[in-house]
Structure 1
Amino acid sequence: MQTTGRTGGGLTRRGLGLTAGATAALSAVGARAGTDSIAVRTRSGPFRLHRDGEALSAKGIRYGEAERFQPPRPARGGPSATDRFGPASPQRGGEPDQSEDCLRLNIWTPPNPGSRRPVIVYIHGGAYSTGSGSSPLTNGARLAVRGDAVVITVNHRLGPLGYAPLARLAPGFEDSGNLGQLDLVLALEWVRDNIAAFGGDPACVTLVGQSGGGAKIATLIAMPAAAGLFHRAVTLSGQQVTASGPLNATRRGQVWLEALGLTPDRIDEVRTLPVQRLIEASGATDPILGGSLYFGPVLDGRSLPRHPFFPDAPAQSAAIPMMIGNCREETLAFLGDDPSTAGLTWETLPAKLTPSQMRIDVAPEEVVAWYRAEHPELTPDQVLIRATTAARSWRAAVIEAEARAAQGSPAFVYQLDFPSRRTNGRTGAYHTSDIPLMLDNVMAEGSGASGPDGQAMADRMADALIAFARTGDPNHPGLPRWTPYSLARRETMVLDRASRMENDPRGDERRFFGRIPYIQPGT
């Protein structure tokens, strides 16, 4: 790593290659491999980069703060420590280190000083209720060095803290249904104002998100407050065609209050109740979907004035290049470990094709009969995975790709066929299996794609992401020529050991399920 030759010496803009508008310079304060530390001066104060693999990182940076159920504001006070991840939003499940002080982000940058690098901001999945930016699968060190890029992961408010639909129940909660989205907007404003200090180009920001992270990106695409804050968008198995309507959202808010033992006239008590009670109450039964309560973006007429991809693609984001992906066996991640699906027969299969799994109103017997006639090579178990995948997240990906093509701003579409291995030994291209491939972390804990084949696939996918982040076009020498999606041909890159371009893959399934109205989960 280049240094100034003296401990604590400041590097000049010229030495860094920073533009005249850059707000900071880096200074090296240590030069021994493995103990390097670099001070960074930003508009938000000084921070310190630490060695993380072959990259440098600053973790747990506080980009904002917020009172409960209120919009976020820029962080005040001194900078936070940057040698460990910051806390995740309070949530159900086993995510470690939870706190309401969760508006944090993590940055990785190559060790050599530089500037105007593309910036890749990864938004974690977990629907709108779980997850964080500190998973080993989303560590940005390898991708930053591989692509000479600045990589960021971000935490924000989740579940009822980020998406409680209370606006119609009492004054003072007008923005409560979209607070998690407003947190992300604030994080992107922080990136715009400060990322040049870390060598990033604030005019070349790519959002990448998997599952719920992709859905959050699809929602940001339609939010006026997010306009101009990012310049490319990549969604991995995560779409948001419509937001939760205000009336259904309010029904969910009422159920949540009832689970807390509150009535609307006592709603202000949610500001002071122990946070664990708020999270526990989110396990109440959803009045629309069944299962636990859905928390997600609300069509509130304020921060979200329209549905993300209904009735069309948002005009405000027409100029933003987009990549939309899905995995061929998405629901293997949800159903492949379910012992109740073992030993399925043609007679027992229809009972498993429930509305909660299909997410559309269709007779399961009709679905089974169609697959048996059109795909006699498939077993009942394979039909379960194929049908639930085709009717759920893939359907929304097709709708978004069609909307972009109709707008004249087509997306680059991919289908992951490369199989990863689950802990129970089952293989397939399941939901989440593209994360370590796209982010070049196939050897990380939780990856099902370790080994030479997995790394070779990661090489192709990570290089596509880097090319897209740099230019808005994912083409590179490791893949066949990738052309954007059109309504006439439905061009799709099928990512596998031997990747290929294919027109309308699974077209028969698309047409079969396309006859049935699609209702976005949560709306």
Structure 2
Amino acid sequence: MDRRRFVAGAIGLCAAPVFAARPDPVVATTKGRIRGRREAGLYVFRGVRYGQDTAQRRFQPPRAPEPWRGIVDATAFAPSCPQRAMQAGTSEDCLFLNIWTPGTEPSAKRPVMLYIHGGAYANGSVVDPLNDGRHLAAAGDVVVVTVNHRLNALGYLYLARLDPRFADSGNAGQLDLILALRWVRDNIAVFGGDPDNVTVFGQSGGGAKIATMMAMPAAKGLFHRAITMSGQQVTASGPINASRRTAAYLDRLGAKPDALAPLLTMPVARLIEGLEATDPILGGGVYMGPVLDMRSLDRHPFWPDAAPQGNPIPMMLGNTLDETRAFIDPDGPLLRGLDWGNLAARMAGELRIDLSPEWIVDQYRARFPDWSAERIFYAATTAGRSWPGQVIEAEARARADAPTWVYQVDFQSPTQPRRGAPHTMDIALAFGTLDAPGSFTGTGAGARAASAAMMTRFVQFARAGRADWPQYRLDRRATMIFDATSRVEDDPRGWERMLFARAPYIQSGS
């Protein structure tokens, strides 16, 4: 697509025609007919069921819906998965997806872009306004799909070693996503999409879920490109550690490991309360994520190498420059009163690479003598916590000669300057939802330029399976920098990459 046409579409959607006089669209899926809406030139379907109510089959693989008669309305968002985060409208009956498409003619064969939300494996929802697909679908002439699925204990509580009925419980949330991708394969053509050109993209936990699916045999062939946005999964949770977390969770609930029947009828709110259990490995709230169960996941996604199944899939990996500025409040206790005397101690608990924090501070101060303690704190915690997974994945794919492209978001928040380019910055830029609640981007010219550059590249990648900058190779490490003026740099932050490569990276939850 011509970039000038794309940019004009991305920032001029208010001029799009409205077809209010025409009837709302009705589409026949493999299970029955659904009715959507026409909105600003698009056909929009919200709350499309791809799986049965999971309340009747807790901790078990999802099932496809039963066929229905008549026409079911798909005009409003359906519930999200129950969770500890503040989220309106939750239910165990949460296996629904949403579709924005420029047209429903099957002959169009538009690229399909399926988005998986962040929130680690515990929280989040695609009903968040940041994830609205209308701008991306209209400007890129693509079909955008967003998916909700099971999270936390409902999607990842590992019970396989306690009860054979729940052999797949540690990866139930992943199996939900695979079921959604099967639904797309079987149905997306009648929404104008090409089932043979599906790009999965996801931010934070969504990217990690994608990286995990690249090693899951059941996902093979269901998607054809992948984009991970500040979300990696080098290793999954081992079954022994997962079992220790399960024990802590059950103890919090007062449940017995040899009598799990009460879990099947317990109010879902009580199951969510159990997540307050202390994690026996990491501390804090108990972690739950994909498990190396030797059933649906029989190897780690990127250890000891990139899973061969995923290597033929073109992949784009990205992170933001200041990831931890989103997690660690600049006015909070770790930053309040920060100085050279306490910098090392305060950042030690935020690192995921076991190097001397005092030595790390000395290296930064020698390299960047004009940097403040706060700047070093955020740079080191980002490079030693949020970024290494992406580096490991990109390097593994480069060694396998897999088609790989890397980007970095440098665009600095004009609305919250101390946040810099934080985690989640790329969501609004990729979707064009600059004015949505939760966006750090503002709506100025710089944000619009960065967003147009990112949206254009994502759509080009979805359409052609390649980006317009050099592939990531170990001799150059070419990286697209998304900013008010975007550009390509070789090995940006290479010094930090090498600094933290001196010790192993331990994936949280492993």
Partners of 1:64 and 1:72 within 8 A in 2:
yes
**1:55-104 C-alpha deviation (Å, 9 max, x unpaired):** 22100011002311110010114375311101000100211100000000
Of residues 94, 98, 102, the one that matches 1:110 is 102
CA separation in 2, counterparts of 1:452 and 1:52? 26
Residues 444 and 62 of structure 1: CA distance in aligned 2, closer, same or farther (over 3 Å): same
1:235 to 222, 228, 233: 228
1:348 corresponds to 2:335: no
Letter in 2 for 1:351: A
Query: Match of 1:71?
Result: 61
Q: State the 1:511 CA deviation.
A: 0.7
**Does residue 353 of structure 2 align to residue 360 of structure 1?**
yes
Do residues 216 (structure 1) and 203 (structure 2) align?
no
Q: Shift in Å at residue 490 of structure 1? A: 1.1
- Aligned match of 1:509: 496
Q: Deviations over 1:280-311 (max 9, x none)?
A: 11111100011101110000000001001111
* Pairing 1:91–2:78 present: no
Distance 1:426 1:201, change over 3 A: same
- For residues 60-459 of structure 1, the aligned pairs below 5 Å read 60-65=47-52, 66=54, 67-78=57-68, 80-111=72-103, 113=105, 115-340=108-333, 341-355=335-349, 357-421=350-414, 425-449=417-441, 450-459=443-452
Task: Return the alpha-carbon distance in structure 2 between the equivalents of residues 521 and 187 of structure 1.
Answer: 26
Deviations 1:107-164 (A, max 9, x none): 0001574620000000000000101111111100111111111000000000000000
Work out the CA distance in 1 between the residues paired with 2:22 and 2:380.
52
- Aligned equivalents of 1:385, 1:49: Cα separation in 2: 45
User: 1 CA distance for matches of 2:129 and 2:40?
Assistant: 12
Kindly provide the amino acid, as one letter, of the partner of residue 20 in structure 2.
A
Measure, in 1, the Cα distance between the counterparts of 2:213 and 2:21.
38
Secondary structure of the corresponding residue to residue 425 of structure 2: coil
8 Å CA contact 2:31, 2:67 repeated in 1: no
- Structure 2 CA distance for aligned equivalents of residues 381 and 473 of structure 1: 38
Instruction: Determine the C-alpha separation between the residues in 2 that align with 1:187 and 1:98.
Output: 19
Give the letter for the 2:339 counterpart.
Answer: T
Partner of 2:11: none
Unaligned runs of 5+ in 2: 1-17
Runs of 4+ residues over 4 Å off in structure 1: 111-114
Q: Given the superposition, is the C-alpha separation of residues 176 and 58 from structure 1 closer, same or farther in structure 2, using an over 3 Å criterion?
A: same
User: Does the aligned pair in 2 maintain the 1:401–1:485 contact within 8 Å?
Assistant: yes
Are residues 515 and 116 of structure 1, via their aligned partners in 2, closer, same or farther at CA, if it must alter by over 3 Å?
Answer: same
Contact 2:449 2:485 in 1 (8 A): no
Which amino acid in structure 2 is aligned with residue 487 of structure 1?
Answer: L
Gaps of 5+ in 1: 1-30, 476-481
Deviation, structure 1 residue 380: 0.6
Which amino acid in the other structure matches residue 92 of structure 1?
Answer: R
Query: Does the CA-based 8 Å contact 1:257-1:267 persist in structure 2?
Result: no
What is the CA-CA distance between 1:378 and the residue it aligns to?
1.2
Distance 2:438 2:38 in 1: 23
1:491: how far off? 1.2
The answer to whether the Cα contact below 8 Å between 1:62 and 1:80 also exists between their aligned partners in 2 is no
SS at match of 2:278: coil
Q: Percent identity?
A: 53
Alignment CA distance shift 1:35-1:433 (3 Å): farther
SS in 1 for 2:276: coil
Task: Return the alpha-carbon distance in structure 2 between the equivalents of residues 54 and 455 of structure 1.
Answer: 22
Query: Is the 8 Å Cα contact of residues 216 and 296 (structure 2) preserved in structure 1?
Result: yes
TM-score by length of 1: 0.90
Q: Secondary structure at 1:488's aligned position in 2? A: coil
1:58 aligned residue (45, 49, 62): 45
Give the RMSD, CA atoms, in angstroms: 1.5
SS in 1 for 2:178: helix
Q: Cα distance, 1:35 vs. partner?
A: 6.5
- Give the equivalent residue in structure 1 for 2:5: none
2:104–2:192 Cα contact (<8 Å) kept: no
Matched-pair contact (CA < 8 Å) for 1:401–1:410: no
C-alpha separation between the residues in 2 aligned to 1:130 and 1:34? 39
Q: Is the 8 A contact 1:336 1:426 kept in 2?
A: no
Instruction: Kindly state the Cα deviation for residue 337 of structure 1 after the two structures are TM-superposed.
Output: 4.3
Does the 8 Å contact 1:420/1:429 carry over to 2? yes
Say whether the 8 Å CA contact 2:322–2:421 is kept in structure 1: yes
Of residues 454, 463, 475 in structure 2, which corresponds to 1:488? 475
Q: How many residues align?
A: 485
Question: Residues 89 and 34 (structure 1 numbering): CA distance in 2 closer, same or farther, change over 3 Å?
Answer: farther
Where 1:91 maps in the other structure, the secondary structure is coil
Q: Is the 8 A contact 2:322 2:419 kept in 1?
A: no
The one-letter amino acid of 2:158's match is: P
